[in-house]
Chain A
Amino acid sequence: MANGGPGKILDSLRENSKNDENVSRFLVEIFNKELIQGNSHWKKQYIKSLNKYTKPKKGVKNAD
């Protein structure tokens, strides 16, 4: 229902992490999770995303 702020923040997150593509994708992913799902099971989700982007063998596909 809120449609103004989040898009701006995502753009800014991408801009401020453009030097590291994996960090950028990670931030976009967890921002969207925070926006949609809020507080529930955050730790599990964060660690899953962190492993996804810091262990290249598992592959990074369709992060956005």
Chain B
Amino acid sequence: MRIERLKIKNYRQYKDFDISLKNNENNDLQILIGKNGTGKTTLLNSINWCLYNEEPHSAESSDKLPILNISSIEESNINDKLEVLVELWVSTNEGRNVTFRRNEIFKIHGDKKIPITQSNELKVNYQDENGNTNILEDDEAQKMAEKFVPSEIKEFFFFDGERLDNYFKDVKGQNIKNQIFILSHIYILENMENRIDQIFKELRRQSKKLNPEIEKIENQLESEQEKLKNSESKIENLKDQIKLGNKIIKDYENKLKDLPDASKLEKERQRLKSKLEKINSLSNDKETERKNFILEYGQNIMLWPAIKKSLQIIDEKKKNREIPPTIDKGLLERIIETDNCDVCGRHLDDDSKKRVEELLSTVKLSSEVVGLLHSMENPLTNLETKLQNFGAKRKEIQKQLKIYKDEIKEINEDISKLDKKLSGYNVKKIKNWHNQRLEFEEINRNDIMTLGSVKEQKKIQERNIKLLTEKYNESLGKENKAKEVKNQISFCETALSSIKKTKNDIMNETKAKIQFETNKIFFDLLWKKETFKDVEIDDNYNINLIHSKGYNCLGSISAAERELLALSFTLALHRISGFDSPILIDTPVARVSDDHRENFANIFLDVSKNKQVILLFTPAEYSEEISNILEEKINSKYEINLLPDESETNIEVLK
């Protein structure tokens, strides 16, 4: 994909501008040279305006001026209609031609000749596979522009060289992550996920109508799912924050450790911190043991008076020889009732009956009750013994907990003393580092506690969702019609799960590839081969440059190295995305010192072997060093000049 031609009419200072960009099989390198203020950035804007109707690089002063060329306005009459036009002629890798053509029509109003917009439209002419030319308008035309370079990532293709210098300040973390989502098409998976989820929820609502009983479960399920989603998002954020916090704390620790004044104190502080962490962990384990112990004994303690009373009764019964029973009360009652002895089989006479009745009056408890009391004795005695140990065991746990608490207090006091000493340093820098480290430690402590609690909540939510889903499916199964909906719901669930897995796989793979490609490009192009070891990209897409000695040195590299790293990352994104559109850089080496300009000239030349490179230089930038390297390889070269009255830019073909 390359730009073949750029045609501009009445766009700002470009009244009539038309350039063709040639190439050959070895290179595709295009150079435009113009002094500051002649319109290089306007050229960059014209491409953005044509494709997206935006001028992202315009200065505030330009915003106040009409987009319509000023001399054209002056030459016009009232009620004249003037056209601003930008045409971008592009050829695809398959050799087909695509022309993006945006025009805006202005009508000139009043004596002051104020231009008022009448219309603004993009049209695209493109050749299909049969060679026929088609015309696209409105949304369809805009979609075609998005396929050339998606508007969200245009800044990776058409940009100001200054952006490369500020890359790691302006384009960081979440922003890069979002851009990568677009570049690697993960956004399509996100769309699919959201849309299937929407249909999934609608199916559930439908199933509710089929079986009203489901409504309650459905609401609970949705609410739990929402809670789970929040918990997951919170956990991710907290993990990121903790990771970042740890990194910052580590940085401060390393800085403080390396200072002669503070190094001894710092080492001691780190030893105490590590000890504190271990004792905190032991103390937490002991606290859990205490809680479990209380839970285990809690119920039995509540029953302690009843246990005591029962054992007392059993004891009394034993003393009175009611336990174990000497005779069965039921047997005596049956003998009296039948007047017949169950033991010897004889009929009872009056005397015998009287004696049995006397015997019965002495037996107070039934053998069943006595048997029960007898069987209770052993377990109750065991419980009594266990509870008698309760106090001792509780004391033992509490004693150990107190030891840990005292130790923690002592270590914290020692750390506090060290902190005071470190804070007391007169060196402002040390004091600041130390205080900032303390702040981050506090933040991390809170984050870690919150993370633990959110993780617990998440477990509960997952359990609830599992139970509710089972209940929900059970209710759904009752209806025939509902079974069909259930089938679709289950289908959507499987589809969603597959999309989530895919998203995860692609994200990890893309990150690894970008890291690999960035490394490859950076080290291929770098002039200092031994200084750096690796380029790393973390989970948040922050870029770290690792020095050969192992530390992250991104903050201390030269502007040229930083610019090369940003360029390598940008080109890696191009390769990964599959968007092989050209790269256009305004003032590409403005921030690069003279020593490295030659290196950059070689880099651009190298890149132009595989992709169209359009560079907008100032004459000062296009120095002899750069010219010596590029001049012979340049495919097209133009000079941009502003006319003396500054109303118009003209162009001179140099090559």
Write the residues of chain A forming the contact surface with B, with a CB cutoff of 8 angstroms.
Answer: 1-6, 8-9, 12-13, 15-17, 20, 22-24, 26-27, 30-31, 34-35, 38-39, 42-43, 46-47, 50, 53-54
B494 close to A17 (CB less than 8 A):
yes
Bound Cα distance A2, B10 (Å):
33
B499 close to A5 (CB less than 8 A):
no
Summarize B's interface: helix, strand, loop or mixed: helix
Question: Would you call B363 an interface residue if the criterion is a C-beta within 8 Å of the partner chain's C-beta atoms?
Answer: no
7 extra interface residue pairs, beta carbon distance < 8 Å, beyond A5-B510, A31-B189, A50-B199: A1-B147, A3-B580, A4-B575, A23-B495, A27-B495, A31-B188, A46-B199
Bound Cα distance A43, B492 (Å):
14
A50 close to B492 (CB less than 8 A):
yes
A27 close to B498 (CB less than 8 A):
yes
Bound Cα distance A15, B505 (Å):
11
Question: Would you call B183 an interface residue if the criterion is a C-beta within 8 Å of the partner chain's C-beta atoms?
Answer: yes
Summarize A's interface: helix, strand, loop or mixed: helix
With a cutoff of 8 Å between Cβ atoms, the chain A residues found around residue B578 in the complex are 1-6
A43 close to B195 (CB less than 8 A):
yes
Shortest beta-carbon distance from B297 to chain A in Å: 50
**CB-contacts of B171-190 with A (<8 A):** 183-186, 188-189
Bound Cα distance A54, B576 (Å):
35
With a cutoff of 8 Å between Cβ atoms, the chain B residues found around residue A47 in the complex are 199
User: Known: A1-B148, A43-B199. Is A13-B188 also a contact (CB below 8 A)?
Assistant: no
Bound Cα distance A1, B510 (Å):
19
**CB-contacts of B111-144 with A (<8 A):** 143
User: Known: A13-B499, A17-B494. Is A2-B577 also a contact (CB below 8 A)?
Assistant: yes
B192 close to A5 (CB less than 8 A):
no
Closest to B574 in A: A4
Of the listed residues B147, B198, B491, B502, the one surrounded by the most CB atoms of chain A closer than 10 A to its CB is B502
B505 close to A12 (CB less than 8 A):
yes
Bound Cα distance A3, B92 (Å):
12
Q: A1, A9, A17, A22: which contacts B506 (Cβ < 8 A)? A: A9
With a cutoff of 8 Å between Cβ atoms, the chain B residues found around residue A50 in the complex are 199, 488, 491-492
Of the listed residues B191, B488, B499, B580, the one surrounded by the most CB atoms of chain A closer than 10 A to its CB is B499
User: Known: A1-B147, A13-B499, A38-B143. Is A6-B185 also a contact (CB below 8 A)?
Assistant: yes
Closest CB pairs A-B (n = 6): A4-B578, A17-B498, A5-B185, A2-B578, A16-B501, A16-B498
5 contacts between A and B (CB under 8 A): A3-B580, A22-B491, A26-B495, A31-B188, A46-B199
B496-540 vs A, CB cutoff 8 Å, 1 = contact: the mask equals 001101100110011000000000000000000000000000000
User: Known: A9-B506, A12-B505, A13-B498. Is A30-B192 also a contact (CB below 8 A)?
Assistant: yes
With a cutoff of 8 Å between Cβ atoms, the chain A residues found around residue B492 in the complex are 50
With a cutoff of 8 Å between Cβ atoms, the chain A residues found around residue B505 in the complex are 12, 16
Bound Cα distance A34, B195 (Å):
11
With a cutoff of 8 Å between Cβ atoms, the chain A residues found around residue B502 in the complex are 9, 12-13, 15-16
A5 close to B183 (CB less than 8 A):
yes
Bound Cα distance A43, B198 (Å):
9
With a cutoff of 8 Å between Cβ atoms, the chain B residues found around residue A1 in the complex are 1, 92, 147-148, 578-581
A46 close to B491 (CB less than 8 A):
no
B196 close to A46 (CB less than 8 A):
yes
Shortest beta-carbon distance from A10 to chain B in Å: 9
With a cutoff of 8 Å between Cβ atoms, the chain A residues found around residue B581 in the complex are 1
Shortest beta-carbon distance from B13 to chain A in Å: 31
With a cutoff of 8 Å between Cβ atoms, the chain A residues found around residue B147 in the complex are 1-2
Shortest beta-carbon distance from A55 to chain B in Å: 8
User: Known: A8-B506, A9-B506, A13-B502. Is A23-B494 also a contact (CB below 8 A)?
Assistant: yes
Q: A5, A16, A34, A54: which contacts B191 (Cβ < 8 A)? A: A34
Question: Would you call B487 an interface residue if the criterion is a C-beta within 8 Å of the partner chain's C-beta atoms?
Answer: yes
Shortest beta-carbon distance from B406 to chain A in Å: 54
Bound Cα distance A43, B203 (Å):
13
B506 close to A12 (CB less than 8 A):
yes
Closest to A53 in B: B491
Shortest beta-carbon distance from B485 to chain A in Å: 10
With a cutoff of 8 Å between Cβ atoms, the chain A residues found around residue B576 in the complex are 4-5
With a cutoff of 8 Å between Cβ atoms, the chain B residues found around residue A46 in the complex are 195-196, 199
With a cutoff of 8 Å between Cβ atoms, the chain B residues found around residue A23 in the complex are 491, 494-495, 498
B498 close to A54 (CB less than 8 A):
no
With a cutoff of 8 Å between Cβ atoms, the chain B residues found around residue A54 in the complex are 487-488, 491
B195 close to A27 (CB less than 8 A):
no
A34 close to B188 (CB less than 8 A):
yes
B155-185 vs A, CB cutoff 8 Å, 1 = contact: the mask equals 0000000000000000000000000000111
